[in-house]
Amino acid sequence: MSIKVQKLEAKIEKCTEEKRFLDEVNGNLVKNQEKWIETIRKAQAREQATLRLKDEKIEKLQEEIRDLIAHFECQNAIAQAPDLISSDIQGGTILPVASSASSSNSSRSSPVSGTMNGKLK
């Protein structure tokens, strides 16, 4: 009977050691998982910030393109105007006027859109 008890005790000891090892492995895996989750969260936050900056830059560039188009349209209108009107306009000043899109986004108004000496809009 004691040989049987000794075999069972050895088996219990072996299983206990294996359980300790597996508990340690599990603990390490959980720590690694938490680290990876945090790493992924940080990467996603950086990606979102990058996307926001990209979208803001695109919006700013689109606004600049609109301003340039308006500027070129004004130049074309001045060039095609009769000489008397053209000479009056060419010495004029462009006054900024907030457009509905830019006034809701920022207080900066377009440097091109507006009136020139009250004669051209």
Domain extent for 21? 2-105
- Any domain includes 101: yes
Answer yes or no: is pLDDT of 76 > 80: yes
Upper half-sphere CA count for residue 9 (Cβ side, 13 Å): 6
Answer yes or no: is pLDDT of 70 > 70: yes
DSSP 110: B
> Would the pTM count as exceeding 0.85?
no
CB-based contact 94:112 (threshold 8 Å): yes
**What integer pLDDT is reported at residue 19 of this predicted model?**
98
DSSP code per residue over 80-107: HS-HHHHHHHHT--BPPB--HHHHHH-S
* Number of domains observed in the structure of the chain: 1
**13-17, 25-29, 99-103: segment of lowest average pLDDT:** 99-103
- Any domain includes 119: no
